[in-house]
Structure 1
Amino acid sequence: MNSLHYFISIFWLINLLASIIQYQVAVCSTRNVPNPINVTKHFSFPDFNLTNNPLLVHSIRLIGNAKFSTKKGALQFSNEAKGKDIKHQPGRGIYSFPIRLFDPSTNTPASFETAFSFQVNNSTKNQTGFGGGSALTFIIVPDEFTVGGSGPLVGMLNGGICENDYKALVIDFVTRMKPESGDPTNNESNNLGTTLSTRIINVSDVGLPLKDGFVHYVWISYDGPKKIVDIRLGAEKERFPFKPIFSESMDLSPYLNEYMFVGFSASTGNNNQIHSILSWNFTSTSQAFLRFPSAENCKSKISVQNTTTTEKKPDKKKSRKDEIPRGFFIFMAAVALSSIVGFSFILRRRGNAAKPNNSLEAKVDRPSPPNKPCQFTFSQFSFATRSFSEVEFLGSDTRGQYYKGKLSNGSSVAVKRFSGKFLNTYISYRKRLLKEIATISNVRHPNLVLVKGWCEDNNEIMVAYDFVHNGSLDKWLFGTGVLPWARRLKVIKDVADGLNFLHTKKLAHKNLKCSSVFLDLSLRAVLGDFGFVLIGAESKKFESLVSIGADVFEFGVLVLEVVAGRRRVEEEKHEEKAEERNLLDFAWNLHQTNEKVKLVDRRMGPLINMEQAIRVLEIGLLCTLNEKEGRPSMQEVVEFLLNRDKPIPYLPTTSPGALLPNKLK
């Protein structure tokens, strides 16, 4: 009889809880969808005079051959101070902070308005007649550090870029025809993700030639919800043109990321020309929802809060209706809780009666911290990578393949799947490999990629890293675009900090190269793709003696690659001398002749601090010395980079030769 009563009570409790859940779901489903809020960004530059506004250097990022002209109080392209010839000079002036221009939740582009004044002048040096340059452009681009080619590429793109990889909006003000697009002179044109114009307007037809040397005023607006572009051009600042030179429906959504950078780009070609931006203001308004963690489950739930700031008077009729179900819900929850506590007490007393008095209670399983690495199964990684699909394939090396994946908790990862050939060849290293993966997984540092977990299942070994969205450093150094010197120096310092931290923990990276350094969303450099086991080491003692020193050597070579903007071993070219193909040998040869300045990547433009770059090069060469000849520790390297006044030890004038066995490089 007691058992019957027990099961009836359990059945009643289950039905009660089911009713409560149904009620709560019904209440949640009837809630109104919140209204979006407007996110507004505004800035204004009446002029670009550094004397009046010294903060300009922080607000506007100059790239390539852009500069602030003190004489004109203007943002100027190109840079006459470089020398007599200013042909083929690209440059950009970008507002340093990203602007929210797209709401991914509603797929709605932002609305924005911008007004600026500009002037196009003939160069005063070695120029006969007015030949015109290439173009001045207003741009919306995904980053604030890329500068493209000169001439018709107007500092926007390089010849080999894939248009789908570079989202951009470009509004050209052209004074010389671009042959590949057939653009007429004196025109305004719109480019979307390419240098080829999608819309062309000859402004000479409306009596506004751009190369007359006068100041011109531009008003550009875009209505995001209606998707209408409006462009007006005038000769007077205070007189807003009644009629636009361009006004059409245009959906910019495919060419916008959530956050973009706005600014100007210009270049010269075979003819010299000076483009000046004299004033600029910009305002954008985008829709957004304010989100906050739900009290139900802060780890995995996101709920949307109605962010309307105006408080409405409560509806008395509605509130009275709401009081009854809310009170009923609280009452039923209290009844359920009391029932659970009562049943638990009864079952516990019965259990204790059946146990001896000295019995120990079982330990309660507690959830692990959210960032703690854990062991996964083969099926979990297979599901995350869609059965290791070619669509998710990222690349491969001698040790395995890399796949992008998404775990069940929604986090993006990069899964390294060690190849069967590698595991079978070095089968004796299997236990050491797993041990090192587990060790690295528990190491935390801002300049190290987080290891999410690993897998030893189905006769395979895999490791999952936190996915870094901006990709590896080699794509930025050797691909399209140019990283400015300030970014490169920051990358070198970040890598040094990450390596130094590993070495203080008696650990080593063992696989340092440009493809193992990644840039996160804030362009901070982080080390990933660890080498784990040092293949070829005959003993752990040998490995501990060599691996940290090998890291320092590889760091030195990486420094040379970053400063020079070229790979450690270049492909053979007809115009390149054989002794210049190996970057390390070439660097030592230039050091011997005191010509290290030739190694610095000239694509970075005039803003590079050459004295600083040479010092960094010398630090890189110092790291490639034999350990007996003065190779520094990473702690010393960090001090050299942070303290410019700290002298660098003497460098020999001859190359140290074969520094390490090939298997350790």
Structure 2
Amino acid sequence: MHLQNLLFLFIILTTTHTTLTESSNKKTNSGPEINITKHLSFLDFSPKNRITNEDMITLLGSAAVSTEKNCIQIPENNLQYSAGRAIYSSPTRLFDPNTRLPASFNTTFSFQFQNPSDTSNSSSSGGLSFIIVPDEFTVGRPGPWLGMMNDACEDEYKVVAIEFDSRMNPEFGDPNDNHVGINLGSIVSETSVNVSDFGIRLNDGSVHRAWIMYDGHSKLLEIYLGPDETVLPSKAVYSGNIDLSPYLNEYMFIGFSGSTGNNHTQFHSICSWNFTSVSRAFLRVPSTESCESKITVENNEDHDQNIHSKTPSSFYVFLAVLVLVLTILINLYFNGKRKAKSDSDEVMVVPKEKQRPGPPNRARKFGLAEISSATRGFGELQILGSDSRSVTYKGSLLNGCNVVIKRFSRQFFSSSASDRRIMCKEVKAIGKIRHPNLVPIRGWCFDREETIVVYDFVPNGSLDKWLFGFGVLPWSRRFKVVKDVAEALSYLHSKDLAHKNVKPSSVFIDISFRAILGDFGFVLSSSESTRFESLVSQKVDVFEFGILVLEVISGRGRKSKPGELDLLDLAWAMHERDEKAKLVDRRMGQVVNPDQAVRVLEVGLMCTLNDNKGRPNMEEVVEYLNLERRVPELPSSRPVSLFPYSSTTGLCSGYSCAPFK
């Protein structure tokens, strides 16, 4: 028989043997089921435990530690219409994706509602919730939302909350102003209980203790409530079957949220907290290639017995395989020569279709067919956004990697063929560089008059969604974003390149909340000197970075509403009145470092100075932010000519500064 046919037969026999072996050992290769237990305990939040607590508890919004009470307090001061969160900093496994079972957990905590001295009991209100949320940086809305959620993420934000509410909001279905509610993915409670029936008044000023117990196997939820320093009450305020699995990711964050309303305020204090969870998982048994030979079988008799018990079924499978092999042999005998010729031709053709492999992290050229397949034929459902010059799609490559594909309009290059050539050159130049704070260019497609750029996909979206839509970003996150973008621009400028499109929608957030600068503007102008063009564009990058800093600190967009000052005008006006601190986003509450925020704001204003009047380069900006260099004093009043480039240069028209667009 032909050698190739013998090889084919050998592969079949080998594959069959492997399949039988894996099938017979399937049960032994599945690891044992184990319980993963997590326990945390905070007896109090006193100053002596402050270092430990600060490492383990993340305070957001108006939440703070009260050294007087040794408790976490929401809000920190007598603030109206404010919200805050206290979140355990590490995620907790609360759902097993294999068995689709939620974890079992129990938690107990002592809490106190207190009314300010200048308000009466009837006019005070607010609420506190024990929450299970998917992240540790979102702050929900104040008022009746209790800091649990906000309207921007209500439809997609997984949350489980047990609320202790001292205000009645009929629009949310509250039974009265003294109730416990169970919230599942919604601000409207799934079930509410009037705790007055149990002799409890939440806002009477006393310290209460809550016990929340959940059995993931039976889906039983129990809530107990009573005075502090007592044993578990004999009767639960709520007991019922609730499936939490639709509202859980595998890993979630646990903690507390609270809020106050308009013209109403109340102090909510968490004085102690214990939590224990138990989730099920399976251990993975090491493979035979690694260390199976080192594993000692303690019961050889049972092992041999299992092998003998599987012999009959394996024998029948072997007979079936033998019949299959004989059939294949007969087929190969009658069609051997034709099959050999066909296989020989195939071997000659396949290598010609394969591309030469390149370095895994280097940008490469894509074919138009591959791009079309990744975007499902540039389907409408794949569109992420569009503007006057391009349409952006989400795509998936054949290897499973998610990418962002930006397809430029053909009409955009119709005026000058040199524009397209210059852009192609710059795309390839930027595709060669790699930096932790720059979105990698995975490749490009310049085919059949198509101009397409392929980026890595960043799952957490762009900064503008976090600043203006997903709740309130804490100051620590905002400061990190500013430094990350500054590092990215400094590195880009050091390579004689420029970004030319610095704005919140071009800054993306990865899963570790690192800011990554992407969506490059590229060169779209027939400039005679590319080096001169890049130099001028770098100065515009610095200007745009200054505006970005103002947006991050203030939580406002750069464009103004009718009758209001633009953000840059407002910032300079605040500086002239020495009131820059008023520009800091008040939604961040009391956790902001005011001196640090003002210093960063001054760096942002410095970036908007005229180039010959003190505008720094990005290397200097990084040194300012890292405290490696003293920040120079700003002029006492706004410069006469703030914008150094006229609209005729194509670089800056107003402070929107859209270069080469």
Q: Assess same fold via TM > 0.5.
A: yes
What is the DSSP-based 3-state SS (H/G/I as helix, E as strand, rest coil) of the residue aligned with 2:205? Answer: coil
1:65 corresponds to = 62
Residue number in structure 1 paired with 2:22: 28
Correspondence for 2:126 among 134, 138, 152? 134
Could you tell me how far 1:37 is from its partner in structure 2? 4.0
- 8 Å Cα contact 1:510/1:534 also seen in 2: no
Residues 449 and 226 of structure 1: CA distance in aligned 2, closer, same or farther (over 3 Å): farther
Report deviation, 1:110.
2.3
Deviation at 1:366, TM superposition (A): 7.0
Q: What is the match of residue 170 of structure 1?
A: 161
Any idea what the Cα deviations from partners look like across 1:286-341, whole Å, max 9, x if unmatched? 33456799899xxxxxx9x99xx99753445269879x99xxxxxxxxxxxxxxxx
Bigger mean CA offset, 20-29 vs 620-629: 20-29
Which of 421, 426, 451 matches 2:441? Answer: 451
Quote the offset at 1:50 in angstroms.
Answer: 2.0
Q: Which moved more, 1:252-261 or 1:365-374?
A: 365-374
For the 8 Å contact 2:389–2:408, the answer to whether it is kept is yes
Judged with a 3 Å threshold, the aligned counterparts in structure 2 of structure 1 residues 209 and 591 are, in CA distance, closer, same or farther, namely closer
* Structure 2 partner of 1:88: 81
2:600 corresponds, among 590, 611, 616, to: 616
| Aligned partner letter, 1:200 | S
Q: 2:411 & 2:265 partners in 1: Cα distance?
A: 59
Query: In the alignment, which residue of structure 1 is the partner of 2:100?
Result: 107
Residues 633, 658 of structure 1: alpha-carbon distance in 2 compared, 3 angstrom cutoff: closer
For residues 510 and 633 of structure 1, the distance between their equivalents in structure 2, rounded to whole angstroms, comes to 15
Per-residue Cα deviation, 1:560-619 (whole angstroms, up to 9, x for no partner) = 1111111111232xxxx44x1x21222222222322222211111111111111111111
Q: Which residue of 1 aligns with 2:113?
A: 120
Q: CA RMSD in A?
A: 3.0
1:259-658 counterparts in 2 under 5 A? 259-269=251-261, 270-289=263-282, 313-314=299-300, 315-317=302-304, 367-535=357-525, 537-572=527-562, 577-578=563-564, 580=565, 582-643=566-627, 646-651=630-635, 653-655=637-639, 656-658=641-643
1:59-103 deviation per Cα after TM superposition (whole angstroms, max 9, x unaligned)? 1111222221122111112223xxxx5332322111122222223
Q: Is the 8 A contact 1:133 1:267 kept in 2?
A: no
**How has the CA–CA distance of structure 1 residues 629 and 44 changed in structure 2, closer, same or farther, with 3 Å as cutoff?**
same
User: TM-score normalised to the size of structure 2?
Assistant: 0.85
> Aligned with 1:605: secondary structure?
helix
Write the distance in 2 (CA, Å) between the matches of 1:36 and 1:634. Answer: 54
Q: Distance in 2 between matches of 1:437 and 1:175?
A: 58
**In structure 2, do the counterparts of structure 1 residues 593 and 260 end up closer, same or farther at CA, with 3 Å as the change threshold?**
same
The answer (yes or no) to whether the contact 1:622–1:651 under 8 Å persists in 2 is no
TM-score for the superposition, normalised by structure 1: 0.84
Supply the distance in 2 between the matched residues of 1:381 and 1:104 (Cα, whole angstroms): 32
Aligned to 1:45: 42
Report deviation, 1:178. 1.6
Give the conservation status (yes or no) of the 8 Å contact 1:534–1:547: no
- Alpha-carbon distance, 1:490 to partner: 0.4
Q: 2:221 aligned with 1:235, yes or no?
A: no
Q: How far apart, in 2, do the equivalents of 1:77 and 1:216 lie? A: 16
Cα distance change of structure 1 residues 417 and 123 upon mapping to structure 2, 3 Å threshold: same
Q: Whole-Å Cα distance in 1 between the matches of residues 285 and 518 of structure 2?
A: 31
Shift of 1:198: 1.2
Amino acid in structure 1 at the alignment position of 2:47: L
Aligned residues: 602
Residues 444 and 450 of structure 1 are in contact (CA less than 8 Å); yes or no, is this contact kept in structure 2? yes
- CA distance change for structure 1 residues 603 and 294 in 2, over 3 Å: closer, same or farther? farther
How far, CA to CA, are the matches of 1:553 and 1:290 in structure 2?
Answer: 54
Comparing 401-410 and 148-157, the one that deviates more: 148-157
Give the drift of 1:138: 0.8
Determine if contact 2:124/2:266 at 8 Å carries over to the other structure. Answer: yes
For the structure 1 residues 155 and 555, does the alpha-carbon distance in structure 2 shift closer, same or farther, using more than 3 Å as the test?
A: same
**Greater CA drift, 471-480 or 434-443:** 434-443
Q: 2:213 aligns with which of 213, 221, 229?
A: 221
What secondary structure is seen at the aligned counterpart in 2 of 1:431? helix
Q: Which amino acid letter does the alignment assign opposite residue 181 of structure 2?
A: S
Shift of 1:368: 3.2
Q: Decide whether aligned partners of structure 1 residues 647 and 171 sit closer, same or farther in structure 2, where only a CA change above 3 A counts.
A: same
Among the aligned pairs, what percent are the same residue? Answer: 50
1:477–1:562 Cα contact (<8 Å) kept? yes
Instruction: Extract unaligned runs of 5+ from structure 1.
Output: 1-6, 297-302, 326-361
**1:644 deviation in Å?**
6.4
Measured in 2, the distance between the counterparts of 1:249 and 1:565 equals 42
Query: Alignment partner of 2:180: what SS?
Result: strand
CA shift, 1:484, in A, is 1.1
Structure 2: gaps (5+ residues): 315-351, 652-656
Post-superposition Cα deviations, 1:449-488, rounded to whole Å, max 9, x if no partner, equal 1222222234312222111111000001111311111111
Equivalent residue, structure 2, for 1:16: 10
d(CA) in 1 for partners of 2:584 and 2:64?
21
Q: In structure 1, what is the Cα distance between the partners aligned to 2:416 and 2:585?
A: 40
Partner of 1:354: none
CA distance in 1, matches of 2:227, 2:469: 41
Q: What letter is aligned with 2:159?
A: A
